[in-house]
Amino acid sequence: MSRAGLLEAVRLAQGGNWQDAHLVAQKEEGDPLADWLHAVVHRMEGDLGNAGYWYRRCGRALREDVATAAELQEIAAALGIGDPA
């Protein structure tokens, strides 16, 4: 999948459609940014245990003091896009 595909998944998550964003992240398992997105969508779902697993997979910490919306913007910036809104 292209970075544009991951950006579309970020946009889906930003719109509250974490389910479809999750499907994209699953298809790209092993890509650090997709795994990070996978962690964030599990946070959105309310499954912190599973989110923690995916944060560890991508080498990041679960930062409960950072809103998922802010994290999605960070992922978009890491994709080289900036603010995806």
Tell me the per-residue pLDDT of 45-64, one tens digit each, with 9 for 90 and over. 999 999 999 999 999 999 99
Regions in the chain scoring below 50 on pLDDT? 84-85
**E strand or H helix at 12, and its extent?**
helix 3-14
**Region class of 46: left (phi > 0), else alpha (psi between -120 and 50), else beta:** left
- Predicted TM-score (pTM) of this structure: 0.90
